[in-house]
Amino acid sequence: MLEKFIPHLIKDLELGDVSLGTGTPGVYSLPLEEGLKITMADSPNGFILKCAIAPYPKEREEIFATQALLANLFGQGTKGAVLGMTTDGNTLTLTQEISYQVDYKEFMEILEDFINTVDMWYDETINFK
């Protein structure tokens, strides 16, 4: 599915001759500002979006974890995506799996919501004190 969306995405985002390919079939990487990138991968019935957002706050960890868990509750603070951590516990991540076929317009809406959620949680994590 992503293979047919990527050329439209590159055109819509005015990325020019940039290739979003990663060398792995069905996996693409969309760079954002400040070293952030969204990995997009085909799945059997749809696609998956992933992003390593920022270093996980170690000070007042319980308070931040509670905020993240509340955000995950019913997808209210994540627009349907899921906050998590890397296996080493050092980085906050956001993942969303779409397990159905979508058209390009719906793909762009999902991607835009995902990017906005990444931006919000990046700011939340960096500014957490």
Question: Given this model, what pLDDT does residue 18 score?
Answer: 80
Model pLDDT for residues 24-61, shown as the tens digit of each residue: 999 999 999 878 999 999 999 999 999 999 999 988 99
Region 99-120: what's the mean pLDDT? 97
Query: Does this model's pTM top 0.85?
Result: yes
Question: Given this model, what pLDDT does residue 34 score?
Answer: 74
Domain boundaries, the chain: 2-13+24-126
Per the listing, tokens 């059997």 go with: 44
Question: Given this model, what pLDDT does residue 129 score?
Answer: 65
Model pLDDT for residues 69-105, shown as the tens digit of each residue: 999 999 989 999 999 999 999 999 999 999 999 999 9
2-13+24-126 topology per CATH: Yope Regulator; Chain: A, (3.30.1460)
* Residue closest to 2 by CA, chosen among 118, 107, 97: 107
User: What would the 3-class secondary structure string for 5-36 be?
Assistant: HHHHHHHHCCCCCCCCECCCCCEEEEECCCCC
Question: Given this model, what pLDDT does residue 25 score?
Answer: 92
